[in-house]
A and B are shown apart, each in its own frame.
Chain A
Amino acid sequence: MADLEKIMKEENIVYKKTKVLTDNVMHYCPGCSHGVVHKLIAEVIEELGIQDKTIGISPVGCSVFAYNYIDIDWQEAAHGRAPANATATKRLMPDKFVFSYQGDGDLASIGAAETLHACNRGENITMIFINNAMYGMTGGQMAPTTLVGMKTSTTPYGRNIDLNGYPMKMTEIVASLPGTCYVTRQSVHDAASVKRCKKAIKKGFENQAKKIGTSFIEITSTCNSGWKMPPVEANKWMEKHMFAYYPQGDLKDAERDNPDDYIKYIK
């Protein structure tokens, strides 16, 4: 016990909650990936010293209240419209760091058009995409990203391709668009992946200063409540099943296509 007192001194702190996170208790379910990603965004904002220059666009879905937890300026978008809000915000205030934060129900379904067009225009924004393969907030319904065979409240026998189509790979789609500069798929299920994901988010923010196009960061996530699994088990299920269909790592790391390369088409 005497040892503990010697160790637990202010000067020996090697990790503590960043001040960019507020002291509010998050409303997320225990073990939800949202909390980890919020923390990483807040840590990146602190490290880059851009707390007063960052504007987040929060979505509709479980993370609708993201603005309660990261202490920066925020806008709340209508369902799926976060990339459109982010576009306007960034164009009006090009020196600010603007990011959208969306789940898969928001980004890949009702907001698919906004997502594709913001990426295709190469807006200088960072898009954070939490993919937990279902609609969490409304009770675990099938989303475009739900895996084949995965049981949800609207696919009680599992997703069926003939009936429901294929799981949508948004990240692969936006990687193919000329406007994106950095497209990656990350996760936060263990300490190593948390560190990698933080680097990816940081790069996404740094790209805004370089004005080289849209950075798109998917975080393959869990929804313990929707998946009806304890958090540790959900992480294991994700590694086994989600990573096979949603492979981890960078898909694209470049600058947006050079506009000059496109001029030949009208000559």
Chain B
Amino acid sequence: MAKIKGAVKVDIEKCKGCGLCVEACPTKTLDLSKEVNSKGYNYAYMADPDSCIGCANCALVCPDSVITVYKTKI
């Protein structure tokens, strides 16, 4: 059966690790990584990629507009 699947791409170098996207995600897909980018921020990443539904809540609240959201039926 076809399922709605989503995914996000974070522009790691521009992410400031504010965590607002992590809080906004209804499926707990995102988390802040233990690694840092070149500015020293713990950037956001998909900790549980399977759970993403492509709702774009994370991208809507991101102050730095660094999240691209994909969604499709698989």
Q: Which residues of A contact B (CB under 8 A)?
A: 3-4, 6-9, 12-18, 21, 25-26, 28-36, 39, 188-191, 194-195, 224, 230-232, 235
Contact = CB atoms under 8 A, between A and B. Distances in A.
B70 A235 contact: no
Contacts of B61: 36, 188-191, 194
B29 to A, nearest CB: 12
Nearest to A39: B65
Grouping DSSP codes into helix (H, G, I), strand (E, B) and loop, the A interface class, with mixed when no group exceeds half, is mixed
Given A4-B7, A4-B49, A231-B20, A25 B14 contact: yes
A14 B63 CA distance: 18
A91 to B, nearest CB: 33
B24 A191 contact: yes
A107 B73 CA distance: 48
Contact of A13 (B24, B50, B63, B70): B70
Contact of A7 (B14, B24, B72): B72
Contact of A3 (B16, B24, B65, B74): B74
Interface in B47-73: 49-50, 54-57, 59-72
B74 A21 contact: no
Given A12-B70, A190-B61, A31 B19 contact: yes
Nearest to A4: B7
Given A191-B24, A191-B60, A16 B68 contact: yes
Interface string B13-46: 0101111101110000000000000000100000
Contacts of B57: 190-191
B18 A31 contact: yes
Most chain B CB inside 10 Å of its own CB: which residue of A18, A21, A31, A34: A31
Contacts of B19: 31, 230-232
Interface of B: 5-7, 9, 14, 16-20, 22-24, 41, 49-50, 54-57, 59-72, 74
B9 A15 contact: no
18 contacts: A3-B49, A3-B74, A7-B70, A9-B72, A13-B68, A14-B54, A14-B71, A16-B68, A21-B65, A31-B19, A35-B63, A190-B61, A191-B60, A194-B60, A231-B19, A232-B22, A232-B23, A235-B23
A16 B5 CA distance: 17
Given A189-B61, A194-B61, A232-B20, 4 more contacts: A13-B68, A21-B65, A30-B17, A34-B63
Contacts of B72: 6-7, 9, 12
Most chain B CB inside 10 Å of its own CB: which residue of A13, A14, A29: A14
A128 to B, nearest CB: 15
Contacts of A3: 5, 49-50, 74
A35 B71 contact: no
B18 A231 contact: yes
B16 A31 contact: yes
